[in-house]
Each structure stands twice: as C-alpha cells, then as structure tokens.
Structure 1
Amino acid sequence: MKTVKNRKRAALGIAGAIALSAMPQAAFADEGGISFWLPGNFGSLAAVPGTPGWSWATVYYHTEVSSAAGARFPRGGRIDLGIGGQGDLAIFGPTYTFAVPGLGAVGSVSLLGFGGRNNASVAASLTGPLGNTINLSRSEALTDIGDVIPQVTLKWNKGVNNIMVYATGDVPVGAYDPVRLANIGIGHGAMDFGGGYTYFDPHSGNEFSGVVGFTYNFKNPDTQYQSGVDFHFDWGASHFFTPNVQLGLVGYVMQQISDDTGPGATLGGFRSRIAGVGPQVGFMFPVGDMQGYLNIKGYKEFAAENRPEGWNTWVTFAISPAPPAPASAKPIVRKY
C-alpha cells in the first residue's frame, strides 16, 4: 500500500515537471522546413494534474535532420534543394499551477522561452520570383534567442483516468530573417489547441498517455507565405519499477492537413508528415523541500514526406513543489 501511494506521489511530481517541458519550438516542416509545433513535446503522464505552486524547468534539445539532395522546400520567394540541419537549444521557463474549484480542475499557466544554436545547409538554391540567385551549396549557423511561448492547461483526475485540455501559441520576437538559412524564431505567429488522456494505475505502476493537437499558422508578414494546419499526436508509455524510476517508450506523428498558401507557395499544397519513436527513462529525487525530476528521451524519425528526417534527444531537468504526504504519514494524535 505504501508503494502505491509513493507511486501516486511520484506521478504528481513528475507530471508537473513534464508539463513544464511540453513546449512548442521550431522544427522542420512547412515553409522553409520550419514549423511551430515540435513533435515530442508531450509524453508520459502528460494529463496528470500537478502540485499547486511555482515550478521551473530547463530542457536541452538536440536534433540532426537531412533530406535527399533533390528534395525541394519553399522559403518565401525561393526554392531550397536538399536541406539539412543541426540544432542545440535550451528551453526554459516558469509554470504556476493552481486549483480551479468551480471546474474541479487543476490549472497551470506557463511563459517559456528558448535560445541556442542552429546550423542549416542547402545542396542548391534556385532563383525564385523575388530574383534570388542560384547557389550550388550554402550553409549558415546562428546563435541567438527564439520566440516567446505562453501556454495554459486544465487537468482533471478521477481514479486512474486523467484528462487535459491546453492552448498555446507563438509570439514571434525571436531572431528571424527571411533571407537566412539558419533562424531561431519562425517569423510568424501561431496558435495550437488540443487535449490529452493519461491512464495511470499506481497499483501496477503502468501508465499510457496520448495528446492530440492542431496548429493554425498565421501568415508570415515578411514572405506572405502561410503554412497549412498541422495535426499532431504525441504519446508515451512507461512502467514505474520503483516509485522514483520509470522506463518506457515515446513516439509522435505529425501530419499537415491543409495546404500552404501565398505567393511563395510555388510547390502547391506541400503537405508534410513525420513520425518518430524511441526510449525514455525518468528519475525523481528531493531538492531541499522541492522535488527534482530528470528525464531523458530520444526519437528516431521515419515516414517523412516533404520534410527532412533524422533523430532528436531531450534532456529535461525540472524542480516543482513536492506532492503532499499521504494521510497515513501524518502523526496520529490520541485524546485520553
């Protein structure tokens, strides 16, 4: 019985940490190979309500992707052929979690940012309607700050069942220039809405989570290019071998469901797709009177369409309020 309660407490703390790392970021898809949603944001225990209070998370994200030399990608008024890239980003920010009595839910508000280094290359570049010259090969690197990402969530728990709804978006204030290959910001605003479910049974230590979302991209004011609507599904499955150690798998699927539009959409709808799967491991430990969480997960990508593919790794370190102790842990006071 004590192990079950410890597993439930661990899940509450880990859920708060995972909520902090669930942050959209620039990845490869859509215009110039850049999309708002970064597949893999959500994972295990995504819908489990966290402990009320302030939390902080820092995520190191590394990715390496490439496409065939003949693959074409629109970028405003030009077409890039055979793009590749490597990114090293630090994602960080606070989250405030609170009870919502009228709804019987636990809410959270996050304001997240990021910065780092992006290396990008093309095998060739063709002249487009804006008169860009042809380059046989070109590469660039940029170290700078990215956009600002606000996010809100509502979560409900009933026994082993947990439900979540969320809304997030992109405030395009990061480093972006339409003539550059390497950017940190995406150059346009975006909104993303979705919901998720987590099954978690403290008795068995098993859990499964899935989160579905849709991204609406606003028009890029510099290129007048508007990327289509993206559908994404992130999932995670794990087992708690101890109350503080979990092992499992993670995965994602992302599919563009509407066409790109605008004067630069010379390749037509250019709908993109990607999928990925890989392992994960998580550890929970005390940090003073707070709770620390370290999670490492990696994805190998496949089934790419109109998008480079490769692999990516996430390392999350988060500090959040420790869950309340089980009632049985409180001292018993007897009256005589």
Structure 2
Amino acid sequence: MGAAAIAALLVLPNDAARADEGGVSFWIPGFFGSLAAVPAQAPGWSMTSIYYHTSVSAGADVARAREITLGRIPANLTATVNANVKANVDLGLVAGTYTFATPVLGGQASASLLGVYGSNSTSLAGSLTGALTFPGGATVPFSRFDTIDSSLTAFGDLLPMFQMKWNAGVNNYMTYITGDIPVGAYQSDRLANLGLGHWVIDAGGGYTYFDPKTGHEATAVLGFSYNFKNPATQYQSGVDMHLDWGASQFLTKQWQVGLVGYLYQQIGCDSGSGDRVGCFQSRVVGVGPQVGYIFPVGDMQGYLNLKAYGEFANQNRPAGWNVWLTFNLSPAAPTPPTSTRPRFTK
C-alpha cells in the first residue's frame, strides 16, 4: 500500500503540477528584451554572457492528479492528492555570435551558438489522503506523506540561432530561427534536469522602435516553439507561443531605464502515449524593471543589462520571480563625424 502511494506522488512532478513535460519549456520567457531588433553597428565576433536565476513554486491540480494516478493505487482507495513543487535554478548562458559584413536580402545576418551550465534544485512535498473501502461497506482511513528532493549541477542543451535584422530609420525589424540540441543532463526518472531530452524548433520575428535623438525605445518579439516527441517518455509537448517585450528611455548616451515583460501561452495540446493528462495547456505572465549601461572596453564596447520579472496569471505552470544579468562585448561602431549613436544589443 505504501509503495502505491509513493508511486502516485512520483508521477506528480512531471504531469500534474505543470504543463509542458516536466514543467520545463524550451523557451525561457524574457530571453529577448529591449533593442532586440536593432542591427549590430559593426560586423565580426561578439560575446554575450547571461546569469539567470529563477525561484518558482506550484501546487498540483487535485482533479487532474487523481486522473493520472488511476491504476497506480488500489481500486478500492478513494483519495485526494495534494502536492507542492518548489524549484531554484541558477544558469550561466554563454553565446558566441558572428555578424556577417555582406548583406543578405537587404538585411544583416548573424549566427550564434549558446551553451548552458548551471544548477537545479527541486523539491516535491505531497500527500495522499482518503479511505479504503472493503466488501460489505467497511472503510478504513488512509494517509501518506512523502517528500522528494533532487539537485543537479551540469551542462544543459546547446542552442544554435540564426537572425536577420533590417533598419529603416527609427524602425527596426528582425526574424530568427533557433532550436534545442538535446545533449544536456537529462534523465526521465529524475525530478531535476538541465536538459529537455527532446529536439525543438523555434522561430519568430520582432520589431523595435528606436529614436536615437529622443532616446525612446519599444520592442516586441513573438515566437513559436514546436516540440518533438521525447523518445525516453513518448511524451510530446504542445506548441508554445511566447511574446517578449521591453520599453525604455535612454537618460544619457550610456544609461537606460525601463520596463520589460512577457506572455507565455501553450497553444497546442500535449500528446503521445506517455501523456496521461490530456490537453493540459500552460500560461504565465511576467513584468518588471530594467536598467542598462553602455561603456568602452578597450577598442570594444560593453553593455550591461539587469532586468527582473515577477510572474502572475499562471495556469498549469509554476510562478515566482526571475532575474537576468546580461553582459555583451562587441566591436565598437565606427564613429562618423555627425553620429553620436551608441552600439546597442538586445
């Protein structure tokens, strides 16, 4: 009886508490921000490093949890499942980008490869309470409480990206395609992972309004993720939609302040023989402040950006808060006699 109860709790982290398999989507909401569509000022190599921290929690959907545990506990047990999942994740992301000097389709092309290293600490506390019913109508109260802790420090998956950007005065446009190469630390029976265990293709486009004279800026980037089936679990997450946005004001040529936000919405149903919850779509919204600073680094140019998000309006997905600290090092722009426009990055 105890083993059956534990099995019921073990299935919760991957299915009941959060949508998208394991509660982890390929796209980290907030990845794009202000000035994302502005072309680079000079071709060549650039480097971006990001420190990302998130702290989230979620409670299990009791009705859905009961559905997925059918068959894993005795048929004569009528029970209610309650669970809470908490996770703290610290990631270091490093991307090398090459911006091509030759225009492509009238725009600026660049190619990047992003790697991930970090830690994931996840805990699950769950209880199973109810009653066993025996022939003749007799009932016996039943309860079980268990906790699971899982921690991991390892490399994550690789993310290649190709971008195209165009500039027309204060209007800037971009399109991108990226994806997930599942080479990171992943085990289907482990609560904490840093890899997805399956391939992903993600593509989208964005727009930035930026007026160097006034310092006004506004950006929005919309994208969609197609998830391939996880061969280890036969679970296929639905199509995800994500909208990242930012709005800022340059107080000087170096200092930038503003707001950032995102909307993440799963628009396709989960599927596959490993899906035991049906169409269990997720959603979360985030918003918060940002500050940026541009400064010279030898004959290069550095850009620091700090942004933070508080999450709300979540459904079938954890919510909490997250912080991004981004440092970009890129070739400094040639300075025409009449230009005072600084080099900006997303």
Indicate whether the TM-score tops 0.5.
yes
Structure 2 residue 15 is matched with structure 1 residue 59: no
Deviation digits for residues 148-190 of structure 1 (CA, Å, limit 9, x no counterpart): 0000000000000000000000000000001110101111110
8 Å contact kept, 2:84–2:124: yes
8 Å contact kept, 1:90–1:116: yes
Report the counterpart of residue 82 of structure 1 in structure 2: 84
Q: What is the alpha-carbon distance in structure 2 between the residues aligned to residue 287 and residue 31 of structure 1?
A: 42
8 Å contact kept, 1:99–1:105: no
RMSD: 2.3
For residue 28 of structure 2, give the secondary structure of its aligned residue in structure 1.
coil
8 Å contact kept, 1:246–1:281: yes
For residue 338 of structure 2, give the secondary structure of its aligned residue in structure 1.
helix
Q: Which runs of structure 2 are paired with 1:230-245 in the superposition (5 Å)? A: 230-245=240-255
Q: What is the alpha-carbon distance in structure 1 between the residues aligned to residue 186 and residue 255 of structure 2?
A: 40
Q: What is the alpha-carbon distance in structure 2 between the residues aligned to residue 309 and residue 109 of structure 1?
A: 32
Q: Which has the larger radius of gyration?
A: 2
Q: What is the alpha-carbon distance in structure 1 between the residues aligned to residue 272 and residue 279 of structure 2?
A: 10
Report the counterpart of residue 101 of structure 2 in structure 1: 99
Alpha-carbon spacing, 1:135–1:117, altered in 2? closer, same or farther (3 Å) = farther
Q: What is the alpha-carbon distance in structure 1 between the residues aligned to residue 47 and residue 82 of structure 2?
A: 39
Report the counterpart of residue 111 of structure 1 in structure 2: 113
Letter of the aligned partner of 1:42 in structure 2?
F
Q: What is the alpha-carbon distance in structure 2 between the residues aligned to residue 69 and residue 163 of structure 1?
A: 41
Alpha-carbon spacing, 1:102–1:33, altered in 2? closer, same or farther (3 Å) = closer
Structure 2 residue 45 is matched with structure 1 residue 35: no
Alpha-carbon spacing, 1:290–1:269, altered in 2? closer, same or farther (3 Å) = same
1:99, distance to aligned residue in structure 2 (A):
3.4
Q: Which runs of structure 2 are paired with 1:177-188 in the superposition (5 Å)? A: 177-188=187-198
Q: What is the alpha-carbon distance in structure 2 between the residues aligned to residue 250 and residue 43 of structure 1?
A: 7
Q: What is the alpha-carbon distance in structure 2 between the residues aligned to residue 102 and residue 265 of structure 1?
A: 43
Report the counterpart of residue 20 of structure 1 in structure 2: none
Report the counterpart of residue 124 of structure 2 in structure 1: 122
1:69, distance to aligned residue in structure 2 (A):
5.2
- Is the deviation greater in 224-233 or in 101-110? 101-110
Report the counterpart of residue 294 of structure 2 in structure 1: 284
For residue 32 of structure 1, give the secondary structure of its aligned residue in structure 2.
helix
Deviating beyond 4 angstroms after TM superposition, the runs of 4 or more aligned structure 1 residues are 69-75, 77-80
TM-score by length of 1: 0.83
Q: What is the alpha-carbon distance in structure 2 between the residues aligned to residue 124 and residue 218 of structure 1?
A: 30
For residue 198 of structure 1, give the secondary structure of its aligned residue in structure 2.
strand
Gapped runs of 5+ residues in structure 2? 1-17, 73-80, 129-143, 340-346
Alpha-carbon spacing, 1:80–1:93, altered in 2? closer, same or farther (3 Å) = farther
8 Å contact kept, 1:80–1:122: no
Alpha-carbon spacing, 1:102–1:301, altered in 2? closer, same or farther (3 Å) = closer
Alpha-carbon spacing, 1:125–1:190, altered in 2? closer, same or farther (3 Å) = farther
Q: What is the alpha-carbon distance in structure 2 between the residues aligned to residue 202 and residue 94 of structure 1?
A: 27
Letter of the aligned partner of 1:299 in structure 2?
Y
Report the counterpart of residue 315 of structure 1 in structure 2: 325
Gapped runs of 5+ residues in structure 1? 1-27, 127-133, 330-336
Which of 146, 149, 174 is the matching residue for 2:184?
Answer: 174
Structure 2 residue 203 is matched with structure 1 residue 193: yes
